[in-house]
Amino acid sequence: EIVLTQSPATLSLSPGERATLSCRASQTVSSYLAWYQQKPGQAPRLLIYDTSNRATGLPARFSGSGSGTDFTLTISSLEPEDFAIYYCQQRYKWPLSFGGGTEVEIK
């Protein structure tokens, strides 16, 4: 099973700041990495798939990059609605797997 490790566990930032979230895979996942956002009491929402492809309607402040084993989700300027938990997920190999999450909290 491919293990995804997200860092940091918690990111404390202010609105308007840049957020950089990391996801590292235990083996290559090529470019087959996705990112999700989850707010309290809600289902997750797909943000980005295959490293850098934005889901329909996703604001341009969200971007993804990386390849192989190291990936990054960047939020260029945090809006109040962006404070949430973010998960990465690989689809390179079964079983599909998620990272443990990064919480972006208001500083």
Tokens of 85: 């938990």
- CA 58 to each of CA 88, 100, 105: distance values in angstroms, whole numbers, following the listed order: 16, 23, 20
Told to check if 28 binds another protein by CB under 8 A, we report no
Q: Which stretch binds another protein (CB under 8 A): 19-27, 31-39, 60-68, 75-83?
A: 31-39
Told to check if 89 binds another protein by CB under 8 A, we report yes
Told to check if 98 binds another protein by CB under 8 A, we report yes
21 within 8 A of 10, measured Cβ to Cβ:
no
In the complex with another protein, the residue whose CB is nearer, 82 or 97, is 97
In the complex with another protein, the residue whose CB is nearer, 45 or 107, is 45
In the complex with another protein, the residue whose CB is nearer, 63 or 101, is 101
Closest CA to 23 of 105, 100, 75, 83: 100
Neighbouring C-beta atoms of residue 36, cutoff 10 Å? 22
Neighbouring C-beta atoms of residue 92, cutoff 10 Å? 15
Q: 41 to 80, contacts with another protein by CB under 8 A?
A: 43-46, 49-50, 55
Binding site for another protein (CB under 8 A): 1, 34, 36, 38, 43-46, 49-50, 55, 87, 89, 91, 94-101
